[in-house]
A and B are shown apart, each in its own frame.
Chain A
Amino acid sequence: MSDEMKANPEEETGLGEAGLEVFRDTVEEFLAAADVRVVYGEPIQHDDTLIIPAAEVLCGMGFGLGSGSGTSTDKDAEKPNRGSGSGGGGGGRILSRAVAVVVASPEGVRVEPVIDLTKIALAGLTAMGFMVGMMFRMNSHRHGIPRIEE
């Protein structure tokens, strides 16, 4: 690393710090997903009945930052012989799914589950796929071409 590259570290760290600050704010917002209010929706009052929807929330995110600088050996006076840059990128996803509904009435409180039949059917088909795949594998072994013995 040359002395010129080390000459302006504040500029580089300033850029990096600004970027990092933005990402820290994003992480703080992301961490707010752990709150109870995210899982339980606004209560709905209907006559004597209170309904509270409940959902599960899964969110993930990640990011990276980088910066660097360098000098050019080009002796062109019009062009700057050193430069620096920084960049970053990130991504994330939030998944939410209704799990249950809490119904409170003067008769009592009950938790009604929300059943996602599509997901259950897909899981059932995957399980069937495992079984059928194994059956095919077994059959192919049984009816396979016998080895030629020398």
Chain B
Amino acid sequence: MPVIEMLSKTGEPQRIGKLELTPMNQVLKIQFPGDHGGLIWNRPKAVVVRSDDGQEQILPVTDVTRVAIWAMLAGGILGAIIMGLTFRRRQPETEE
């Protein structure tokens, strides 16, 4: 059975002026049995911004390209399904 792991990691904090930035990433790790290979999907998750006065803000890193691609593909498949269903409903009328 492949081992599937989902991890969140934080990187080295970077300081600029009064702010401290800590990058965070998310890793999906799939390891094939017997150490015979695997798959790693590593992507940025968020940036934690800490100010000297103690305020903390989490800025999510959104992958706009991926969101747009999935939205378009989902729209295309959904559109095709709706068209197919509409056609099936109309089919008896045309046969008469």
- The answer on a CB contact under 8 Å between A36 and B23 is yes
A-B contact pairs, 15 of them (CB 8 A): A23-B35, A56-B42, A61-B38, A62-B32, A99-B44, A99-B61, A102-B47, A105-B16, A109-B59, A113-B62, A120-B68, A123-B73, A135-B83, A138-B83, A142-B94
Q: Enumerate B47-92 residues with CB–CB distance to A below 8 Å.
A: 47, 49, 57, 59-65, 68-69, 72-73, 75-77, 79-80, 83-84, 87, 91
A-B contact count (CB 8 A): 171
CB < 8 Å neighbour of B84 from A64, A123, A134: A134
Q: Enumerate B20-35 residues with CB–CB distance to A below 8 Å.
A: 21, 23-25, 27, 29, 32, 35
**At the interface with chain B, which of A7-15, A46-54, A73-81?**
A46-54
By secondary structure, the A interface counts as mixed
- The answer on a CB contact under 8 Å between B14 and A52 is yes
A interface residues with partner B (beta carbon < 8 Å): 23-24, 27, 30-31, 33-40, 43, 48, 50, 52, 54-64, 90, 92, 97, 99-100, 102, 104-106, 109-111, 113-116, 119-120, 123-124, 126-131, 133-135, 137-138, 141-142
Interface size on B, residues (CB 8 A): 50
